[in-house]
C-alpha cells in the first residue's frame, strides 16, 4: 500500500465532488444554518445570563435592604440562587432548557429549581432546538451519507473499479483514499462551527470565560472530529458492501434513523419503565413525613425536641432555657435545620440515584451508538448535562443551609436568652449583618469531573474508530469489483 496512491484517490474524490453543483448548495445551506444557530446560541447565552445576573443582583439588593430584624425572620425572608449559563452552552444547549435555572432559598424548606424554558414554551421545544451541536450530530451526518453513498457502489456500477484494480490499485488504497476525501469534506462543513465557537470564546464575553474553557473547547471538537471520521469510514464501508448506490443510500438512512431516533427513544422508554420516578408531590410528602417523624422544631411539646431541651439544660446545669448563655430558640432552629437538611439530602440523593440509573441505560448505549457517544461528550464538556444540573442544585442547597444556620447563629448570639418570640422591635439584630453574608455565585464543575462524565463516550468513539478502521481493512480483502 502506497501513501502516494492513497492521496491520489483522495484528490480524485475531492475533484469529482466539487464538479457537482449540489455540494455548493449543501455547503451554502449548512453555512446559513450555522449562522442562524450561532447567532441564536450567542444571543440566548448573553440574554439569559444578563437576565439571571440582573435578578441575582436584585435579590441581593433586596436582601441587604432589609432593616434591623429578627434573624429567624430573615431566614424565612430568604434569597434566590440563579444558574448562570456556561460559555460553551451557546454551542450545545443540552438539557438546560428543561431543568430550570432559579431556586428560592429559605429556612426549613428545599425548593425545586424552576423557570425552565420548556415551562414557558408551547410544546415545540420537545422537537429540539437548532444549535450548532444539533447540526453536527444530526444534519452533517446526513450530508456525509449523501455525499458518500455512491463513492464505491457507483464506481462498481459504471465499471470504474475494474479499471482501477487492473491498473495496479489496491482496495486498501481506494477505501482509505475515499474515506480521507470524505473526511476533508466533513472538515469543510465543520470549520465554520469551530471558528465561530473559538471566536466567541476569545471575543464574545471574555470577562466571564472560565480559564479551562479553551481546553474544554479543544477536547470537545477533537471528539467531534473523531465522530466525523468514524461516519466517513462507515459511509465508505456501506458503499463498498452494497450492490447498488440505491441500496447504499437506503442502508445509510436506515442506520441514521436507527441510531438517532429509535435506539435513544427505546432506551429512554426502557429506563423509565425499569426505574420509575416518584411524582413531585409524593417526594415532598415523603420528606415531610420523615421530618415530622423525627421531630418538629416549631412544636415546643415535640418529644424529640423536649428531650433535647432536657439534655441541654442538664449539660448547662440550669432549670430553664432563660438561664442559658444563648438564645435557646436559635439553638432549636439550628438543630431542626440540621435534621431537616439531612433527611432531605437522603431523599434527594435517592431521587438523583434513580435518575442516574435511567441515564446510565441511555449512556451505555453509547458503546454501540457513536451518536449517543458524541452527545454524551458534547453535553459533558459544555456543562449542559444532568451532572451539571445536579451540581448546581448541590451548590444552591449548600448556600441555603449556610444562610439558615448563619441566621440561627445570629439569633443565638444577639437575641437575649429570655426572648422566645420574634415579635417586637427590640428582638432584632443590626442590618449590617445581612451584608456580611456573601452572595450566591454559581461555579461550573471542574474539568476533571466533566472528563469523568464523558469517559464512556470517549472510550466508545475510540473503540468505534478502531473498529471502523479495521473493518475497512477486512473489506479490502473481501470486496469485489463486480
Q: Give the model's pLDDT for residue 280.
A: 80
Q: Give the model's pLDDT for residue 209.
A: 63
pLDDT band at 423 (very low <50, low <70, confident <90, very high): low
Q: Give the model's pLDDT for residue 122.
A: 47
Angle at 157 between CA 153 and CA 163, to 5 degrees: 95
Q: Give the model's pLDDT for residue 125.
A: 52
pLDDT band at 42 (very low <50, low <70, confident <90, very high): very high
- Considering the entire predicted model, what is its pTM? 0.90
Q: Give the model's pLDDT for residue 131.
A: 94
* CA within 13 Å, CB half, 351: 18
pLDDT digits (tens, 9 = 90+) for 67-126: 998 898 899 899 999 999 989 999 999 988 888 889 999 988 888 888 666 555 544 455
Strand partners, 82: 102
pLDDT digits (tens, 9 = 90+) for 136-156: 999 999 999 999 999 988 888
Q: Give the model's pLDDT for residue 300.
A: 66
pLDDT digits (tens, 9 = 90+) for 329-368: 888 889 889 988 998 999 999 999 999 999 888 888 888 8
Of 159, 151, 172, 181, residue with least CA distance to 475: 172
**Lowest mean pLDDT, pick from 296-300, 332-336, 433-437:** 296-300
Amino acid at each position: 500500500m502506497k501513501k502516494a496512491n492513497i492521496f491520489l484517490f483522495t484528490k480524485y474524490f475531492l475533484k469529482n465532488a466539487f464538479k457537482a453543483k449540489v455540494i455548493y448548495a449543501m455547503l451554502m445551506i449548512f453555512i446559513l444554518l450555522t449562522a442562524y444557530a450561532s447567532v441564536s446560541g450567542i444571543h440566548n447565552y448573553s440574554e439569559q445570563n444578563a437576565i439571571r445576573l440582573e435578578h441575582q443582583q436584585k435579590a441581593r439588593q433586596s436582601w441587604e435592604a432589609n432593616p434591623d430584624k429578627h434573624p429567624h425572620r430573615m431566614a424565612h425572608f430568604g434569597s434566590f440562587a440563579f444558574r448562570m449559563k456556561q460559555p460553551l452552552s451557546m454551542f450545545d444547549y443540552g438539557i438546560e432548557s428543561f431543568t430550570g435555572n432559579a431556586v428560592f432559598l429559605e429556612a426549613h424548606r428545599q425548593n425545586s429549581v424552576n423557570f425552565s424554558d420548556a415551562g414557558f414554551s408551547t410544546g415545540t421545544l420537545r422537537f429540539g432546538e437548532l444549535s450548532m451541536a444539533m447540526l453536527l450530530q444530526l444534519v452533517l451526518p446526513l450530508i456525509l451519507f449523501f455525499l458518500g453513498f455512491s463513492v464505491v457502489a457507483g464506481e462498481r456500477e459504471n465499471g470504474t473499479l475494474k479499471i482501477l484494480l487492473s491498473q495496479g490499485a489496491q482496495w486498501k488504497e481506494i477505501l482509505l483514499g475515499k474515506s480521507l476525501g470524505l473526511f476533508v469534506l466533513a472538515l469543510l462543513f465543520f470549520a465554520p462551527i469551530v471558528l465561530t465557537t473559538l471566536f466567541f470564546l476569545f471575543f464574545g464575553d471574555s470577562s466571564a470565560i472560565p480559564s479551562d474553557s479553551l481546553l474544554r473547547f479543544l477536547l470537545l471538537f477533537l471528539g467531534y472530529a473523531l465522530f466525523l471520521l468514524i461516519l466517513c469510514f462507515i459511509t465508505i464501508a456501506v458503499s463498498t458492501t452494497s450492490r447498488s448506490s440505491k441500496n447504499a443510500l437506503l442502508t445509510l438512512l436506515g442506520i441514521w434513523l436507527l441510531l438517532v431516533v429509535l435506539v435513544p427513544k427505546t432506551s429512554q422508554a426502557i429506563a423509565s419503565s425499569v426505574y420509575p420516578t416518584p411524582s413531585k408531590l409524593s417526594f415532598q410528602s415523603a420528606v415531610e413525613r420523615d421530618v415530622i417523624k423525627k421531630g418538629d422544631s416549631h412544636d415546643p411539646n415535640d418529644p424529640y425536641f423536649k428531650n433535647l431541651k432536657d439534655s441541654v439544660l442538664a449539660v448547662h446545669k440550669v432549670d430553664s432555657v432563660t438561664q442559658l448563655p444563648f438564645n435557646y430558640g436559635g439553638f432549636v432552629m439550628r438543630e431542626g435545620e440540621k435534621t431537616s437538611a439531612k433527611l432531605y439530602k437522603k431523599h434527594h440523593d435517592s431521587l438523583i440515584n434513580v435518575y442516574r440509573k435511567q441515564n446510565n441505560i441511555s449512556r451505555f448505549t453509547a458503546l454501540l451508538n457513536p451518536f449517543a457517544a458524541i452527545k454524551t461528550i458534547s453535553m459533558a464538556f459544555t456543562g449542559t448535562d444532568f451532572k451539571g444540573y445536579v451540581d448546581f442544585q448541590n451548590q444552591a442547597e449548600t448556600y441555603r443551609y449556610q444562610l439558615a444556620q448563619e441566621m440561627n447563629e445570629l439569633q443565638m448570639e444577639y437575641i437575649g436568652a429570655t426572648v422566645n418570640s420574634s415579635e417586637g422591635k427590640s428582638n432584632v439584630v443590626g442590618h449590617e449583618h445581612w451584608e456580611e453574608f456573601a452572595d450566591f455565585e454559581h461555579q461550573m464543575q471542574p474539568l476533571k469531573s466533566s472528563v469523568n462524565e464523558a469517559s464512556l463516550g470517549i472510550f466508545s468513539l475510540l473503540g468505534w474508530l478502531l473498529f471502523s478502521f479495521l473493518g475497512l481493512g477486512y473489506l479490502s480483502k473481501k470486496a469485489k469489483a463486480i
